[in-house]
């Protein structure tokens, strides 16, 4: 498994958890800053999009217009759902943009880790690790693994301060808020640590790829399993540990920090009066972001649907631009630059995804291929079997049908035919297990090979004899009770 595909997802989950914890604590401390539940899918999806885009596509030459379009995809629905009003839009938009930027930072680091390998030059396997490290650390701000650690502790520190401030100012929590905080906290710790560990493995995978090392393919899976178990234990420990054994307890630290937080800058947002809310709803019923509008899950679904529709429309528009651009340059992608090139890549990506999806659907309809064998030649896409051969496979003649019957009956007795076996090899297995019909097996297989591989037909009488011999073999196999 290539860690590059997994790490942006972990980065997005970590971003979402940190932003979620931040908004939750701020909302509890200052109710005017609370974030509506409907905004959460925006925060999560913008983080996912941003992390993957930055990992795979973002580079120094990505056009700024593209970045603006990307931001607009997230902000326009937020603006619409904020009742086209500046104040809630700024409040909600701030968190979406924060999430988008934070995830983008992680994605850029992952992309940077791969780019460093391009500058390695002709290095021997022994020195590649050292050379990579020195190249990655040239600019200390860009050393990716340090970046991950610093942010893990930095964001963790901010959340800890907010938590302590909350405990010092307000006290205990009850109900849904506790559950939300526990879930977000656990997700943040687990995804943050997994991201850090995964980044180490990703770095190793880059170096292995560069040194052309032959690493067992299941290594990444084993690592993931180990990491999952470790994180599960850690999360359980954090949530279930009955004893507060830590010398610096939240209460003690909060006492120390109380004055700092209480005397710190206070955010004073004028609360919206109920009359104001009612009048806004009358003006624009689309305005349902304020936290006390009781839309429940419908608000969430509607917000999500708006986002999907808007993103879909943007995607479609970009794809059409890409199609037109490709047509104009005669499908030569290299001639395009900037936004048209990206649009063309989006269009090509969409087309490829549809092709894969259709292929998968076709495979599902046909049924799964048996495991444990290499794809056959026609599946490799370059050599196709002739029509004659395909037809002969579909309509086996009598002797071939008898061979299949023998294989089917023997399979029931535990002597399955392996796809990598030839008819003669399979025959030898049968001869070993059924010595009474060893000669018959040989005779049948000689005839079968003529039918299967020769360009001449067997006479009717010869075919008849072979079928009789085959019937004897089937009978003997069916009679066999096992060893």
Partner 1 sequence: MPQFSVSDVALFGEQMIRNISKVMVGKETVTKRLLIALLSDGHVLLEDVPGVGKTMLARSLAASCGGSFCRIQCTPDLLPSDVTGLSIYNQKQEDFVFRPGPIMAQIVLVDEINRATPRTQSSLLEAMGEGQVTVDGATYDLRKPFMVVATQNPVEFEGTFPLPEAQLDRFFLVLQLGYPTAEEEKEVLHRLQEEHPISALAPVTEPNHVAQLQEVVARVHVEESVRDYVVHLVRSTRQHPQVQLGASPRGSLALIRAAQAAAALDSRDYVVPDDVKFMATSVLAHRLILKAESILRGTTASSIIGELLHQVDVGVEGDL
Give least dist CB 94 to partner 1, A: 49
Joined together, the tokens standing for residue 140 give: 């200390």
Exposed, middle or buried by CB within 10 Å (0-12, 13-18, 19+), for 233?
exposed
Near partner 1 by CB under 8 A: residue from 141, 176, 455, 460: 455
> Toward partner 1, which CB reaches closer, 305 or 424?
424
Joined together, the tokens standing for residue 444 give: 């049948």
29 Cβ partners below 8 Å, 6+ apart?
Answer: 162, 165, 166, 169, 170
The span of 10-18, 137-145, 230-238, 419-427 binding partner 1 (CB under 8 A) equals 419-427
Radius of gyration of the chain from its Cα atoms, rounded to whole angstroms: 33
Joined together, the tokens standing for residue 482 give: 């096992």
> Toward partner 1, which CB reaches closer, 214 or 334?
214
Joined together, the tokens standing for residue 245 give: 């054994």
Residue among 158, 27, 153, 41 at smallest CA distance from 99: 41
Give least dist CB 298 to partner 1, A: 50
Q: Quick check: 221 binds partner 1 (CB under 8 A)? A: no
Joined together, the tokens standing for residue 441 give: 């097996």
> Toward partner 1, which CB reaches closer, 253 or 407?
407
Contact (CB, 8 A) for 199 and 144: yes
> Toward partner 1, which CB reaches closer, 148 or 417?
417
> Toward partner 1, which CB reaches closer, 121 or 370?
370
CA of residue 31 relative to chain centroid, distance: 36
Give least dist CB 145 to partner 1, A: 26
Residue among 248, 232, 230, 102 at smallest CA distance from 164: 248
> Toward partner 1, which CB reaches closer, 150 or 397?
397
CA of residue 115 relative to chain centroid, distance: 22
**How many Cβ atoms from other residues are within 10 Å of residue 89's Cβ?**
18
Near partner 1 by CB under 8 A: residue from 65, 154, 424, 468: 424
The span of 64-72, 184-192, 219-227, 452-460 binding partner 1 (CB under 8 A) equals 452-460
Question: Which helix (H) or strand (E) segment is 408 a member of?
Answer: helix 398-412
Give least dist CB 160 to partner 1, A: 47
> Toward partner 1, which CB reaches closer, 258 or 452?
452
Q: Quick check: 129 binds partner 1 (CB under 8 A)? A: no
Joined together, the tokens standing for residue 356 give: 């894969």
How many residues bind partner 1 (CB under 8 A)? The answer is 39
The Cα–Cα gap between 20 and 96 comes to 11
Give least dist CB 131 to partner 1, A: 19
Give least dist CB 373 to partner 1, A: 5
Contact (CB, 8 A) for 66 and 318: no
Q: Write the binding mask 319 to 348 for partner 1: x where contact by CB under 8 A, - elsewhere.
A: ------------------------------
> Toward partner 1, which CB reaches closer, 263 or 395?
395
Q: Write the binding mask 166 to 205 for partner 1: x where contact by CB under 8 A, - elsewhere.
A: ----------------------------------------
Residues within window 354-413 making contact with partner 1, judged by CB under 8 A: 370, 373-374, 376-378, 380, 383, 385-386, 388-389, 393, 396, 400, 403-404, 407-408, 411
Joined together, the tokens standing for residue 311 give: 């993103």
Near partner 1 by CB under 8 A: residue from 449, 462, 472, 480: 449
Give least dist CB 135 to partner 1, A: 24
> Toward partner 1, which CB reaches closer, 34 or 421?
421
Joined together, the tokens standing for residue 166 give: 């909350």
Joined together, the tokens standing for residue 84 give: 């086209």
**How many Cβ atoms from other residues are within 10 Å of residue 355's Cβ?**
10
> Toward partner 1, which CB reaches closer, 85 or 421?
421
Which DSSP symbol is given to 122?
A: S
> Toward partner 1, which CB reaches closer, 237 or 453?
453
Question: Which helix (H) or strand (E) segment is 104 a member of?
Answer: helix 86-118
Near partner 1 by CB under 8 A: residue from 1, 219, 230, 423: 423
Exposed, middle or buried by CB within 10 Å (0-12, 13-18, 19+), for 108?
buried
Token look-up 């989950």 returns 13
The span of 16-24, 100-108, 281-289, 420-428 binding partner 1 (CB under 8 A) equals 420-428
Token look-up 């943050």 returns 192
> Toward partner 1, which CB reaches closer, 216 or 362?
216
Q: Quick check: 444 binds partner 1 (CB under 8 A)? A: no
Contact (CB, 8 A) for 343 and 318: yes
15-48: b or e for each residue (b if 16 or more CB lie within 10 Å)? bbbbbbbbbbbbbbbeeebbbbbbbbbbbbbbbb
Q: Which residues bind partner 1 (CB under 8 A)?
A: 212-214, 370, 373-374, 376-378, 380, 383, 385-386, 388-389, 393, 396, 400, 403-404, 407-408, 411, 416-417, 419-426, 449-450, 452-455
């Amino acid at each position: 498994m290539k860690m590059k595909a997994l790490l942006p997802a972990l980065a997005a989950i970590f971003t979402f958890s940190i932003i979620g914890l931040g908004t939750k604590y701020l909302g509890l401390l200052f109710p005017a800053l609370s974030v509506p539940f409907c905004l959460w899918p925006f925060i999560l999806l913008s983080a996912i999009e941003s992390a993957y885009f930055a990992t795979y596509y973002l580079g120094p030459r990505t056009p700024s217009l593209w970045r603006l379009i990307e931001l607009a995809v997230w902000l326009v629905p937020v603006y619409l759902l904020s009742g086209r009003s500046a104040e809630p839009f700024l409040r909600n938009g701030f968190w979406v943009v924060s999430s988008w930027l934070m995830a983008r930072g992680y994605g850029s680091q992952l992309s940077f880790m791969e780019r460093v390998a391009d500058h390695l030059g002709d290095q021997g396997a022994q020195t590649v690790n050292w050379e990579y490290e020195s190249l990655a650390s040239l600019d200390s701000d860009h050393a990716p693994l340090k970046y991950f650690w610093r942010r893990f502790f930095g964001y963790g520190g901010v959340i800890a301060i907010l938590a302590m401030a909350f405990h010092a100012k307000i006290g205990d929590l009850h109900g849904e808020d506790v559950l939300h905080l526990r879930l977000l906290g656990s997700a943040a710790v687990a995804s943050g640590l997994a991201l850090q560990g995964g980044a180490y493995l990703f770095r190793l995978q880059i170096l292995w790829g560069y040194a052309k090392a032959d690493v067992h393919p299941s290594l990444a899976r084993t690592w993931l399993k180990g990491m999952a178990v470790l994180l599960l234990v850690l999360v359980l420990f954090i949530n279930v540990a009955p004893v507060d054994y830590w010398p610096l307890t939240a209460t003690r630290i909060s006492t120390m920090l109380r004055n700092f937080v209480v005397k710190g800058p206070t955010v004073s947002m004028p609360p919206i009066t109920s009359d104001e809310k009612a009048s806004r709803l009358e003006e624009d019923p689309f305005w349902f972001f304020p936290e006390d509008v009781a839309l429940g899950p419908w608000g969430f679904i509607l917000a999500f649907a708006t986002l999907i529709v808007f993103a879909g429309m943007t995607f479609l528009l970009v794809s059409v631009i890409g199609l037109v651009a490709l047509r104009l340059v005669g499908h030569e992608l290299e001639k395009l630059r900037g936004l048209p090139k990206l649009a063309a890549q989006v269009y090509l990506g969409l087309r490829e995804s549809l092709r894969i999806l259709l292929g998968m659907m076709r495979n599902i309809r046909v049924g799964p291929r048996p495991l444990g064998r290499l794809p056959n030649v026609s599946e490799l896409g370059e050599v196709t079997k002739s029509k004659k051969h395909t037809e002969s496979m579909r309509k086996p003649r009598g002797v071939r049908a008898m061979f299949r019957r023998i294989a089917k009956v023997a399979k029931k007795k535990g002597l399955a035919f392996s796809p990598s076996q030839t008819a003669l090899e399979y025959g030898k297995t049968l001869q070993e297990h059924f010595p009474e019909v060893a000669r018959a097996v040989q005779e049948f297989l000689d005839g079968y090979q003529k039918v299967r591989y020769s360009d001449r037909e067997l006479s009717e009488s010869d075919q008849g004899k072979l079928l009789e011999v085959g019937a004897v073999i089937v009978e003997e196999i069916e009679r066999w009770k096992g060893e």
